[in-house]
Chain A
């Protein structure tokens, strides 16, 4: 019970911390919205040529665009998040202090990151989706249950993203400078999450593979859940199961890497 309260407090502090940057949030909103417009028009052009590309109609494709902009901050699709801060703690040796805390390192950062994501979903997600819905014809569901499942799917997507970024952050135990890995992580995330172009549009076997990678869980799956593309309760359950599988796998990988890293710190004394 006490532990739950502890992690809840950590999450709240993560939320609050981002909530203080009002100007930055407003600036981010503005930029997200501008990008939404630009990408929306290119998608209109593409779907004019190929009306049912990737199984989306134009309204669905446009919905994908604005959902992408809405999730950009929360799911850290094009960068952002805690990893540089954690890397800095590892490099400076402060991590030794963290490891002796009663809280688990991974859960502590996960709670913190979820707090951040909730803020960014509210602060940077709602407005772009509203603007998009006002200026374009979107295929948003009327059924509140679909929205609830969508939010659950977003949450799972954020956890998967966290799992990836946590692994990236832990690289700092072995690498002197994490900026190279961070860049690589950002690239993979932009391309394989569907931020650039829906994964449904990726051609052939390449597309098949891409849709099974963990990055697909961050944006493509939540967007498809919202668009009702998984057809029926069984399809939705399978989609959420796919996300859960990656979340569990990545968190477990993070734990084992953390264990190895911890041994390294203990042996070397920081």
Chain B
């Protein structure tokens, strides 16, 4: 009864408004230490770039990895880095929920007239995380230039769709991870396995991994929809699980389902907190 569609939309609008306000405050706070900000942004860029240097070093010893060439792997790397970078920029500091519950500052968020999720999502917003996004985008641009694929209107449309859906899927993982911290306040590292671990995995071709692992990230934690399935379509390759072709276009749908599940997890987490206060 309380969640009429109009009410949900209004609350979502309020959430976005509040998110923007708080993000603005953090950006201004960051600028109080400008030098430090520049160093951190460069560091963020370099840290992610080093990941790719590691892959590039691998390719000094071999021409293909799991049957994929360097530009092909770079497409996987660029797409997941961009998607993950966007999600990390927008929601990456959500892992402070556990700390807020522990030190009691969660309560100060609950007495404000805006959604708690928006406040937590914007908490400690770190603009330096643009470093990761820009690294992903730069690499993606290089790949698209180097990659020898036949572009069709469909695959051209698939590319932005993949990046956005991927960001949303990773965003849902961040929200679910934050919700889990209501239960286990010290377990912020668990979500790293799915976020940082997930993006690391997606940087490599699926052919590299054991089939069970690929099944797991397709059907259990659907990270395969971030880039593997749509990117394989762009590269004109079959997926190792032999799924039907339409699955390559299912990323937006999967992203929506992930959002719904993450939202439910968040509400359950918050409800639990409000009944136990622990």
Contacts and interface: CB of A to CB of B under 8 A. Distances in A.
B51 A196 contact: yes
Contact of A24 (B39, B60, B187): B187
B57 interface: yes
B66 A45 contact: yes
A203 B60 contact: yes
B65 A41 contact: no
Contact of A180 (B43, B51, B189): B43
A70 to B, nearest CB: 16
A23 B61 contact: no
A100 interface: no
B50 interface: yes
Interface string A10-21: 000000000001
A49 B208 contact: no
A46 B36 contact: no
B192 interface: yes
Interface residues of B, number: 40
Contacts of A179: 36, 39-40
B243 interface: no
A252 interface: no
B192 A31 contact: yes
Contacts of B51: 196
A183 B210 contact: no
Interface stretch (B16-24, B150-158, B197-205): B197-205
B187 A45 contact: no
Nearest to A29: B189
A197 B54 contact: yes
B8 to A, nearest CB: 33
Interface string A199-212: 00111000000000
Interface string B166-210: 000000000000000000111111101100010011001001111
A27 to B, nearest CB: 4
A237 interface: no
A21 B189 CA distance: 12
Given A46-B65, A180-B39, A180-B40, A187 B193 contact: no
Interface residues of A, number: 37
B9 interface: no
A177 B184 CA distance: 31
B184 A23 contact: yes
Contacts of A184: 39, 43
A27 B186 contact: yes
Contacts of A37: 213
A28 interface: yes
B36 A177 contact: yes
Given A180-B40, A183-B40, A21 B186 contact: yes
Interface in A120-165: none
A97 interface: no
B265 interface: no
A39 to B, nearest CB: 8
A212 B192 CA distance: 32
Contacts of A180: 35-36, 39-40, 43
B12 interface: no
A174 interface: no
Nearest to B33: A177
A197 B57 CA distance: 9
Contacts of B47: 183, 186-187, 190
Given A183-B43, A197-B58, 15 more contacts: A22-B186, A23-B186, A26-B187, A31-B197, A35-B197, A46-B62, A46-B65, A49-B62, A179-B39, A179-B40, A180-B35, A180-B36, A183-B40, A187-B47, A197-B54
Interface of B: 33, 35-36, 39-40, 43-44, 46-47, 50-51, 53-54, 57-58, 60-66, 184-190, 192-193, 197, 200-201, 204, 207-210, 213
5 contacts: A21-B186, A27-B186, A49-B63, A196-B54, A201-B57
Closest 7 CB pairs of A and B: A180-B39, A183-B43, A23-B186, A27-B189, A49-B62, A34-B193, A27-B187
Interface of A: 21-24, 26-28, 30-31, 34-35, 37-39, 41-42, 44-46, 49-50, 53, 176-177, 179-180, 183-184, 186-187, 190-191, 196-197, 201-203
